[in-house]
Structure 1
Amino acid sequence: MNQPTKEAFLDDLILSLGKGWSLLAEGALNRKSPFHSLSVATISGKLPSQRIMILREVNPDKRILRFNTDMRTSKVSDISLSQPISVLAYHPEMKIQMRLSGLARIETTSEAADTAWDQASLYGKRCYLAQPAPGSPVSRPTSGLDPLMEGRKPEAEEVLPARKNFGILIAEINQIDWLYLAHTGHRRAEFRWNSQSRDWDSGWLVP
């Protein structure tokens, strides 16, 4: 009987970390990737608050994940200046889970925010026209959009007012809990960013 093929990264910390970042990078580019829609948790008051967000950009060298956000949402007030953030990703085909923790910041007038706005689709920009603000109580179900705006692709000039509501959420990752589920035996590792050595300290954990 043939034995299942053992992944090259299974017993190698450097390769495991590299595999994780490569899956995240793919997730930012491929909407069909399981790493495209991630669970993002912030602290709201004394309680954790989670939501699904679309991963838009990944920079492994700077340890950065970038998401787009409406500036009127609760997570923006949760984050304010350099507040903790946790991001959860799971790839059911690869059987890889990543829990990424770090500090988050919000940008709305930066060059990076302007670039992100320019890269957004017209449909994506339309979301930031919602009135009242996301999370506002309403008396009946609504998208928040003007009915004339629903069901069609907006023109560029129509979404210009939405720019003031648009921002980016930058997560600077400093800790990664990496889990691989394998028939040959699970593997789990931890990676912590060392600001002095400018590299990851890593080690194996019991799954």
Structure 2
Amino acid sequence: MDPAADLPPVLHPVWDALGAATTRRTAFTLAGLATVSGDGAPQVRSVILRSWDGARGVLGFATDERSAKVRELRADPRVALVLWDDEAQVQVRLAGRAAVVADPAERRRRWEGLGPGTRRGYATTTAPGSAVDGRVGQDDDEAAWFARFAWVEVVVDRVDRLDLAADPHDRMVADRGAGGWRARRVAP
């Protein structure tokens, strides 16, 4: 059975776009991720969407274990993401709960799914955001690279899709509850 069959039809294009964004570079591959810092300030940064499980409504991305975002997610898992397709003039905002994956087998599986250049990005010995005097240190210890790697999964609970190409503009909001997804049109 197709898990998308139980989705409200207005969510199908969002699910399709998220699936495409994680298998090839599209407008939705790069997302703005919003978290809350320890002092309550909003923090936003870009992440590359790496996986989408439409059946579960879960997306995934890789990051550095030592990054501020990992600390923020562990303290408060609530997140928001925004995606923009300039060509289609569509904005999608997602809200949900993030978790840093602890399962070693799942982390290893995700690590092995990354290309060599992406893995090499974890060679930096200095934590992200740390002050440096001169050049940033790197090592060739692939076990250390893996130790610095974190896989984050976000369970999406809310979708807000705004289509600015439609005339008039069209906006839909869908929330996930105990009975599944419920969608409604709202004023843009």
TM-score, reference length from structure 2: 0.89
| CA RMSD after TM alignment | 1.8
- Give the 3-state SS of the residue equivalent to 2:77 in structure 1: strand
> Is 1:160 matched up with 2:143?
yes
Which position in structure 1 is the counterpart of 2:61? 67
Q: 1:51 to 1:166 in 2, by over 3 A?
A: same
> Is 1:43 matched up with 2:36?
yes
Equivalent residues of 1:85, 1:101 under 8 A apart: yes
1:25-40 equivalences in 2 (<5 Å): 25-31=19-25, 33-40=26-33
Which position in structure 2 is the counterpart of 1:187? 170
Q: Deviations over 1:48-77 (max 9, x none)?
A: 111111100001111101000110000111
Equivalent residues of 1:82, 1:105 under 8 A apart: no
- Give the 3-state SS of the residue equivalent to 1:170 in structure 2: strand
Equivalent residues of 2:96, 2:156 under 8 A apart: yes
Which position in structure 2 is the counterpart of 1:155? none
Equivalent residues of 1:174, 1:193 under 8 A apart: yes
- The separation in 1 between residues aligned to 2:152 and 2:70, in whole angstroms, is 8
Which position in structure 1 is the counterpart of 2:3? none
Unaligned runs of 5+ in 2: 1-6
Q: Deviations over 1:60-105 (max 9, x none)?
A: 1111010001100001110116610111111111221110001010
Which position in structure 1 is the counterpart of 2:4? none
TM-score, reference length from structure 1: 0.82
- Tell me how many residue pairs correspond in the alignment: 181
Which position in structure 2 is the counterpart of 1:120? 114
Q: Deviations over 1:131-176 (max 9, x none)?
A: 2111111123x45435xx7xxxxxxxx5232111111011001011
Equivalent in 170, 183, 188 of residue 202 of structure 1: 183
What one-letter code is carried by the residue in structure 2 that aligns with 1:131?
T
What one-letter code is carried by the residue in structure 2 that aligns with 1:38?
A
* Bigger mean CA offset, 47-56 vs 175-184: 175-184
- 1:117 positional shift: 0.5
Unaligned runs of 5+ in 1: 1-12, 150-157
Which position in structure 1 is the counterpart of 2:73? 79
- Give the 3-state SS of the residue equivalent to 1:29 in structure 2: coil
